[in-house]
């Protein structure tokens, strides 16, 4: 016996075992023994051979839960099911726009990430590379090279010590001591460099132009040398310019 037919015939069979032969007059059976006999009969394996497996039951439960959730959402959304579809499409459109604008999320910049690679170049070479990238609209690479040009130029003017492994943040903090008028812009430029280089953000023309303008302004700015006499400061600046 399988399926529903087997289950329907199981109870009479169980009752027959309690009352004797089917040809004999029926005997009234108390409720509790009858219920126990039916439960015992239905617990036999033969009635459960076609039952769904554990995985199928779990999937059925998940699908049932999703169906209830969507039904509840549709009933609470103006327009019913059509309104729910419109809301879902709007959410997907917003998420897609954010992904396109911000790009794939990436880890935050590493605190020890260095500014320069292993190929030492002059400030002029970094500027030339930056302008070449900018001409092709490669703003991220252009911004990186221009920030390197800023720091290399400060090293060439002896306003920063030449130190391998320096980060953009460290260079901005050190340069701000002798160029206090540009402290905020230096820190902002270092932050943009880190965001582009290690944070996965995309630069644009405006962000590149800000660092290029900072580079030009720094070239025209005289440093403030703490603890030096005017004549000493003039000699240092003259030596740095040579």
| Closest to 153 measured CA to CA, from 101, 103, 116 | 116
pLDDT of residue 241: 38
| Closest to 147 measured CA to CA, from 163, 166, 181, 136 | 166
Q: What would the pLDDT profile of 63-121 be if each residue is shown by its tens digit?
A: 888 877 777 766 766 666 676 677 788 778 878 877 776 655 554 444 445 666 656 78
**Those residues with Cβ within 8 angstroms of residue 168's Cβ, 6 or more apart along the chain or in another chain:** 115, 147, 151, 189, 190, 193, 194
Largest CA distance in the chain: 131
| Closest to 146 measured CA to CA, from 203, 76, 67, 71 | 203
The CB density around residue 48, as the number of other CB atoms within 10 Å, is: 12
The CB density around residue 186, as the number of other CB atoms within 10 Å, is: 26
**Those residues with Cβ within 8 angstroms of residue 16's Cβ, 6 or more apart along the chain or in another chain:** 22
Q: 197 pLDDT exceeds 70? A: yes
234 or 167, which is more confident:
167
Four-residue CA torsion sign, 76, 79, 82, 86: negative
The number of angstroms, rounded, from the C-alpha of 50 to the middle of its chain's C-alpha atoms is 46
Whole-structure pTM value: 0.48
Average pLDDT over residues 196-212: 92
Q: What would the pLDDT profile of 15-53 be if each residue is shown by its tens digit?
A: 555 555 545 555 566 777 777 777 776 666 666 666 667
pLDDT of residue 233: 42
pLDDT of residue 162: 86
Q: 193 pLDDT exceeds 80? A: yes
Percent of the chain exceeding pLDDT 90 equals 30
Helix (H/G/I), strand (E/B), else coil: 26 = coil
């Amino acid at each position: 016996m399988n399926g529903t037919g087997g289950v329907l015939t199981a109870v009479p069979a169980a009752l027959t075992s309690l009352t004797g032969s089917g040809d004999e007059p029926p005997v009234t059976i108390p409720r509790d023994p009858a219920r126990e006999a039916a439960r015992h009969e239905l617990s036999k394996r033969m009635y459960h051979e076609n039952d769904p497996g554990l995985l199928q039951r779990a999937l059925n439960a998940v699908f049932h839960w999703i169906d209830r959730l969507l039904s509840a959402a549709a009933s609470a959304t103006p327009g019913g099911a059509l309104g729910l579809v419109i809301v879902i499409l709007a959410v997907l459109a917003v998420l897609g726009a954010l992904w396109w604008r911000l790009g794939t999320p990436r880890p935050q910049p590493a605190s020890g990430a260095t500014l320069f690679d292993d190929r030492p170049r002059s400030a002029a070479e970094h500027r030339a590379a930056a302008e070449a990238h900018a001409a092709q609209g490669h703003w991220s690479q252009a911004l990186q090279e221009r920030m390197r040009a800023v720091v290399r130029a400060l090293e060439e003017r002896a306003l920063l010590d030449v130190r391998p492994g320096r980060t953009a943040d460290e260079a901005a903090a050190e340069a701000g001591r002798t160029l206090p008028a540009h402290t905020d812009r230096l820190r902002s430029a270092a932050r943009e460099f880190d965001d582009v280089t290690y944070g996965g953000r995309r630069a644009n023309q405006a962000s590149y132009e800000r660092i290029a303008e900072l580079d030009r302004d720094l070239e025209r700015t005289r440093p403030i040398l703490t603890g030096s006499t005017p004549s000493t400061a003039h000699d240092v600046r003259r030596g740095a310019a040579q």
